Amino acid sequence: MINLGDHMKKIVFLFLVIVLFSFFVIESKEKQQSISLKEDAIKKESSKKIHKTDEMRALFLSYMELNTYIQDKTKEESQTNIQKIISTTKNNNFNTLILQVRSYDDAIYKTNLFPISKSIILKDGSSYDVLDYFLKAAKEEKIDIYLWINPFRITRPNEDLIENTYAYNYKDTSVVQQINNIYYYNPAREETTTHIVDGIKELVKNYQFKGLLFDDYFYPNDDIDILEYTAYNKEKNITKQDYHLQVINNLIKKIYKEIKKINSNVLFGISPDGNIENNYHKNYADVKTWCSKEGYIDFIMPQLYYGFYNTSKPFIETMNEWNNLVTNKQKKVYYALAFYKVGKEDVYARDGRNEWIENNDMMRKQIILARNATKYSGFSLFRYDSLFNKKNYTATTEKELANLTKVLKVK
């Protein structure tokens, strides 16, 4: 006699095997189709004739480069290094530098609002206006300069606040708070907004530059403004997430307005997390609004720091998400790309964990594909020293650079 229980188990097991196999086949076909599309686009190179002036070809120049080329040098050595950075940028067919002028609540330029950055303190303890020197050297070589600012972070880890500074004056209030041994400004406080906006107005009034960029660091955690949110929620009945998004939107809108009031030619943009959901649930950056409505930004530069086989955020799909997100035709789209990952293990990529080690043409492929996106105006590579400081080279850097050169030639 047949045991119906066992028979049914076998049927169910067989059904599950068929379903799983079908899923695997479909997933494999979709993945193969994605790879095929990628390879087709790469074989065609670019459908556009890219000229040097048609796209942004940028390099991020962070405070880490400033630590290397300016800090603890003589003035002459530092200026020679700046000249070399500019000439290297030009000679390799890049046309833009994104210079970090305020990495913390400090400055690499002449200011009445911020202490001088440690990154530009010279060997003899003095300093000079590094931004001014960069701007003059870049102008001679026709290199555009964008100023890169981190608005809310005040100190490096385990540093104290500097006496007689704006932040120090609010040390024992909710305006300035310490989180994981780093001091931050509370985004919800008016004192914070005033300080940030005043700093930007000072820059736009005193210097001539192409654009200004915020990176993806907005809210350092969910509770830095708990007092302000609790008070506001009693009147408006708003979720904490919506409150945070509103706070940042109000700041961005105010900054944009003040920049245009002083100099309408200065561009303002943001380089958000490449993961759109992270912007809403972690950083509280309302990228959908910024990319669709007027009065917030001129350009968006999502950080597409992913490989093609990154399990959760594969490059092509993520780039397409951003391409579709930008519905306002007036917004320019630049893509930040991860040259710093070349030759290294991508520990969070899962299926693409070793992709940057096993390949030496990641940048070439990503730039070609980005150029074929319908909303594309250029790219920026993170960061300068990953390309041009041999101390940072991996086993594949030189081959990666050689392949990159192929798509940077001026036609």
Q: Rounded CA gap, 187 and 338, in Å?
A: 28
Among 378, 375, 373, which Cα is nearest to 407's? 378
pLDDT of residue 409: 87
pLDDT in tens, 253-273: 999 999 999 999 999 999 999
Domain ranges (residues) in the chain: 54-408
pLDDT in tens, 82-136: 999 999 999 999 999 999 999 999 999 999 999 999 999 999 999 999 999 999 9
CATH of domain 54-408: 3.20.20.80
Residue with tokens 């490989």: 307
Confidence of residue 286 (pLDDT cuts 50, 70, 90): very high
pLDDT of residue 12: 52
- Give the global pTM: 0.90
Structure tokens at 252: 């961005």
pLDDT of residue 242: 98
Contact status, residue 383 vs residue 62, Cβ threshold 8 Å:
yes
Q: In the predicted model, is pLDDT for residue 7 greater than 70?
A: no
Average pLDDT, the chain: 91
pLDDT of residue 411: 62
pLDDT in tens, 337-396: 999 999 999 999 999 999 999 999 999 999 999 999 999 999 999 999 999 999 999 999
Average pLDDT over residues 304-324: 98
pLDDT of residue 18: 56
